[in-house]
Structure 1
Amino acid sequence: MGKKKSNSSNAAQLLESSTAPILEINYQDPLFTVAAHPTKPILISGLATGHVICNSYDAEKLEETSKAKRDEIIQLETQAYELGKLPHVNKSVSQSKKKWWKIIKDDQEEEDSLFVGNWKTKRHKGSCRHAIFDPLESSVGEFVYTVGTDNIIKKAATETGKVVGKHNVVKDYPNSKDSITKLCHSTSHPFLLAGTENGHILIYDSKNLGTGGLKYKVSQAHDDAINHIMAMPTVSAYHYLSLGSTTLAHIDIRKGIITQSDDQEDELLSMCYASDHITENGNDTVLVGHGEGIITIWKNSKNKFQDQLSRIKVNKNASIDVICPTMNVDESDLVDSVWCGDSEGLLHRVNYKRGKVVETRVHSSGNKGKYGGVDEVGILDIDYDYRLISAGMDSLKIWSNRENEEEDVSEDDEDSSSDSDSDSGSSSDSGSGFDSDEELEEESEKEEGDDDEGEEDKEEEEEEESEEEVEVPTLIRRKRTNISEIISKPKRKTIDINKLTPSEQPEPTDEPTTTPKKVKEKKLTTKQLRNMQKHEHGIRKFEGL
């Protein structure tokens, strides 16, 4: 007997975006870390074997070839649908049997120059645990820092891969059996931070990595392994946030812990700033991913990061292993959103101001992982052109940053005006017809109607459509029917909602058309009106009823 799909899988299909990858890289050995160059199409990959790989990709050509192949597939499926050979034209990226994006197997260089290997080296004994690019403005992206289970931090030139500095951190451990888990670099000063499995944070001078030695040390910032370290550039070059076990800590690398949060009774796995709080607004708003599948919102201005202020449910069946900002401050919806990846192989775009998931993408589904399971999303990054990069231990995907125009391929032109505001990047709200965020928030505060009244309204919709002889080829088309146009035109027949229930007065049958003013209609209750609005997604409100 087949395994029943989880609720999260069903929800992912409903919210799935039509945005597809432009590049997929499958790795022969487990992938542990990925870093995207801040200004160039360059990727650094760290493997469980200790190898570090540097690749370049032609993003624009990948976008063009991917779009051309997708258009070709949609055209063929549309023709097959018109001939009755297919039940529908597939719009889902995850459910598609044909992949139109570039797929690289075993990290091999391609002859078409769309994916090029710059260099590959055995950098660490054991595994490579973490890799980051140099974020300093004077040398942004020129160097890459890596650390492995061999307890050696290495600094190498991005262009050549040549090591220019290294430091063995074993002598800096209080316990020699400790190990580095995470790296972080200041955006303004040569401070390189390393978090350990025992909860310590070690700080080095990145310009003198080989000779400088330990510069600062914060002991026992957490009771367990450091899961994340994040700089606070608008506060101070010496101030950082760290996650470990079930707490969030605000530290000064010179003085130690400033504040440590209350015990959250759930492991805190990842964190990031909102996009408009990275380099401004005092690094005030922080979003944290939890082991129980939620995101919590923290504000320094409210309670000094002492406790979470609110929470957003994302996926109760999975942990939120990684989270990152969209980095796009030009679009209002994206500036208020963050990306997060979970242990079920799903990617979620969460609008934290609206408190909901607004878009989902499928990094891995079913038993597609190399070892028979889902490729859990443990790595997220944003490339130089705001493309999302997602990775698990088996594969890496670079997602398109272009909007898709194939959404309405099977719809008539007459509906194009009502759908002009819909977008592939907001699939959870597709067809909702909300004119503004304020209306959406107002709608979300209303109570849900009874199921029996919902069925009654559904019958009313079908009755209205049959009277008006509107051709409805698909279920999606029925949802997009504009009731306001039917009601507002006086030349058409008005449908009385009371005829759906027994009435003492017989319905007049000799009058083919009546104007709305002459028909004595019973006023709709608030609950009935709300249900009509709920089941007809294309209409926000009915005026005059």
Structure 2
Amino acid sequence: MLENLCTLPLSADVFTTALHPSEPLLTVGLTNGRVKTFRLPAVSASEDNDDDDDDASKASKAKASANGGRSPGESGRGTIDTVWQTRRHKGSCRTLAYSYDGSAMYSAGTDGLVKHFSPEDGRVISKMAIPARSGEPDGPSMLHALNPQALLLGCDSGALHLIDLRDGAPNQKPAQTHVPHDDYISAIVAMPPTAESTSGVPKQWITTGGTTLAATDWRKGVMRQSDDQEDELLCATFVPGLGPKKNRNNGMVAVGTSTGVVTLWDRGAWDDQQERIVVDQARGGGESIDALALVPAELGWGKKMIVAVGDGTLRVVDLVRRKQDSEPGSVLRHDDAEAAVSVAFDCHNRLISAGGRTVKVWQELSELQGGDSEEDEDEDDDSDDEGDGAGGSGKRAAGSDEDDDSDDDGDSDDSDRPKKRGKRRKFAKKPKKPSEFSFPGL
């Protein structure tokens, strides 16, 4: 299954994360308003091109040769580097999103601002104010880049704003505003375009908020709202290749609830859930399902999903068999006290979990074992040797990043901290120091 490669401590509780769609970049938003971007080691060596003879390529080849032909990321001897960090918002950074192609970034915070900035250096390009509701400030809860032309912003009031990006930056006012829910929007899931689509980009999406699910079209508005599920819906993801027997390509939406259940919804049938998968069972309801991530097809696991449970565990759920995996290694632990608020796979199919004051990087165990050197394999094959175990943890905890650089936005107020929602936030222990680290086993 998955092996924890490293643990990255943070300087404050993590509120939100975002992964670049095509590069190993991880951005985190913290409760103290800071935003930080880290570069994870690459796992595939482009230096294998024999035609490239420049000095950098030769150095990369030499490193790969020293590591048994593997890149630093594959051998676990790479580093996680801090690309940039800054104080982005007064109060907390609530939500982050990369643009559709990863060329820009957006953040929203409790200061009532959406900021558009460069993912390379964090420099702010433009800002817009979040529209107030009934004369009161409306806190942001979710950002999602629907397509190259539109950014979706969900708010605590249940309002959903569609922001036009066709001029290259967010307009000062939303192009559309809908209110699909009576409570804060907890998830936004883009529906893949159909075969009849001429644009090839999503134009419909699903939201969850409070105890309902809603389907919205950017031309037609809110098309359908589900029945009251009598259970808070906290997270969601789209699952392709599942559906009714005669229409497997239809796809389904998996939704995590506050009582430890994952509900499955057939695409287009939004009135009510079709099936339930009990992940955490207890009298009166299990621990909450705080985040979901579909396992990439490249890993060859089949239709499975990583589920972040409120007790701090990460569990593997089989969507075909409709139950939690019982295989060894199918239950991981992000933290003993803190639940993971986000789980996602990066462009190299590594699982990234974040919660409390830590981020963890996980990789498939078989890949790590398969990358051992011949010497290690010989030691493993010799049953009479008392080897120290090539499968030793080899993990190093990193220190916290210093919050020492000034904010390019001029923000300075650290006092604004939002109230924690339900089971989703607790205080964690203070981290150790320095800002970069290397970790074997990646």
Q: Which residue of 322, 325, 331 corresponds with 1:355?
A: 322
Alpha-carbon distance between aligned partners in 1 of 2:227 and 2:287, rounded to the nearest angstrom: 23
Structure 1 gaps of 5+ residues are 1-16, 69-100, 103-111, 366-373, 414-545
Q: Which residue of 304, 314, 324 corresponds with 1:337?
A: 304
C-alpha change, 1:330 and 1:386, in structure 2 (3 Å) is closer
Alpha-carbon distance between aligned partners in 2 of 1:342 and 1:411, rounded to the nearest angstrom: 38
Instruction: Answer whether contact 1:293 1:315 (CA < 8 A) is retained.
Output: yes
C-alpha change, 1:323 and 1:245, in structure 2 (3 Å) is same
| 1:203 counterpart residue number | 162
| 2:217 counterpart residue number | 252
Instruction: Answer whether contact 2:191 2:238 (CA < 8 A) is retained.
Output: no
| 2:136 counterpart residue number | 176
- Deviation string for 1:100-135 (max 9, x for gaps)? x98xxxxxxxxx861211111111111000111112
Instruction: Answer whether contact 1:295 1:312 (CA < 8 A) is retained.
Output: yes
**Paired amino acid for 2:292:** I
Q: Does 1:194 align with 2:153?
A: yes
Q: Does 1:160 align with 2:129?
A: no
Question: In proportion to residue count, which structure has more helix?
Answer: 1
Q: Does 1:213 align with 2:184?
A: no
Alpha-carbon distance between aligned partners in 1 of 2:321 and 2:84, rounded to the nearest angstrom: 44
The residue correspondences of 1:257-406 to structure 2 (distance < 5 A) are 257-274=222-239, 276=241, 284-301=251-268, 304-316=269-281, 317-329=286-298, 331=300, 333-334=301-302, 336-358=303-325, 359-365=330-336, 374-403=337-366, 405=369
Alpha-carbon distance between aligned partners in 2 of 1:182 and 1:25, rounded to the nearest angstrom: 24
Q: Which residue of 8, 25, 32 corresponds with 1:49?
A: 32
- Deviation string for 1:176-205 (max 9, x for gaps)? 232111111113x41111111111101111
C-alpha change, 1:257 and 1:230, in structure 2 (3 Å) is same
| 1:25 counterpart residue number | 8
C-alpha change, 1:194 and 1:210, in structure 2 (3 Å) is closer
- Deviation string for 1:315-336 (max 9, x for gaps)? 12311011121132562x33x1
- 1:206: how far off? 2.5
| 2:391 counterpart residue number | none
The share of aligned pairs that are identical, in percent, is 29
**Paired amino acid for 2:139:** S
- 1:156: how far off? 1.0
Instruction: Answer whether contact 1:341 1:378 (CA < 8 A) is retained.
Output: yes
Instruction: Answer whether contact 1:183 1:193 (CA < 8 A) is retained.
Output: yes
- 1:282: how far off? 6.5
**Paired amino acid for 1:38:** P
| 2:111 counterpart residue number | 150
C-alpha change, 1:175 and 1:228, in structure 2 (3 Å) is farther
Alpha-carbon distance between aligned partners in 2 of 1:119 and 1:412, rounded to the nearest angstrom: 47
SS in 2 for 1:193: strand
SS in 1 for 2:175: strand
Alpha-carbon distance between aligned partners in 1 of 2:6 and 2:369, rounded to the nearest angstrom: 20
Alpha-carbon distance between aligned partners in 1 of 2:204 and 2:356, rounded to the nearest angstrom: 32
Alpha-carbon distance between aligned partners in 2 of 1:325 and 1:113, rounded to the nearest angstrom: 26
- Deviation string for 1:144-203 (max 9, x for gaps)? 1111011111111111211122211235x344232111111113x411111111111011
Rg: which structure is higher?
1
Instruction: Answer whether contact 2:193 2:203 (CA < 8 A) is retained.
Output: no
Instruction: Answer whether contact 1:249 1:258 (CA < 8 A) is retained.
Output: yes
Instruction: Answer whether contact 1:375 1:393 (CA < 8 A) is retained.
Output: yes
- 1:23: how far off? 2.1
C-alpha change, 1:244 and 1:314, in structure 2 (3 Å) is same
SS in 2 for 1:318: coil
C-alpha change, 1:412 and 1:113, in structure 2 (3 Å) is closer
Instruction: Answer whether contact 2:143 2:152 (CA < 8 A) is retained.
Output: yes
Alpha-carbon distance between aligned partners in 1 of 2:165 and 2:128, rounded to the nearest angstrom: 10
C-alpha change, 1:116 and 1:32, in structure 2 (3 Å) is same
- Deviation string for 1:273-306 (max 9, x for gaps)? 12547xx9776311110111011111025xx221
Alpha-carbon distance between aligned partners in 1 of 2:287 and 2:266, rounded to the nearest angstrom: 25
Alpha-carbon distance between aligned partners in 2 of 1:283 and 1:289, rounded to the nearest angstrom: 20
Q: Does 1:233 align with 2:192?
A: yes
Alpha-carbon distance between aligned partners in 2 of 1:405 and 1:183, rounded to the nearest angstrom: 38
Instruction: Answer whether contact 2:128 2:172 (CA < 8 A) is retained.
Output: no
- Deviation string for 1:314-363 (max 9, x for gaps)? 112311011121132562x33x1111101100001111111121221111
Alpha-carbon distance between aligned partners in 1 of 2:78 and 2:3, rounded to the nearest angstrom: 21
Instruction: Answer whether contact 1:286 1:298 (CA < 8 A) is retained.
Output: yes
Structure 2 gaps of 5+ residues are 45-62, 68-74, 371-376, 384-442
Alpha-carbon distance between aligned partners in 2 of 1:163 and 1:377, rounded to the nearest angstrom: 29
Alpha-carbon distance between aligned partners in 1 of 2:219 and 2:134, rounded to the nearest angstrom: 18
The runs of 4+ residues in structure 1 deviating greater than 4 Å are 280-283, 408-413
Q: Does 1:243 align with 2:212?
A: no
Instruction: Answer whether contact 1:266 1:292 (CA < 8 A) is retained.
Output: yes
C-alpha change, 1:249 and 1:348, in structure 2 (3 Å) is same
- 1:29: how far off? 1.0
Q: Bigger CA drift: 308-317 or 286-295?
A: 308-317
Instruction: Answer whether contact 2:240 2:249 (CA < 8 A) is retained.
Output: no
> Highest relative contact order (Cα 8 Å, sep 6+), 1 or 2?
2
Alpha-carbon distance between aligned partners in 1 of 2:230 and 2:261, rounded to the nearest angstrom: 13
TM-score under structure 2 normalisation?
0.69
C-alpha change, 1:321 and 1:210, in structure 2 (3 Å) is closer
- 1:405: how far off? 4.3
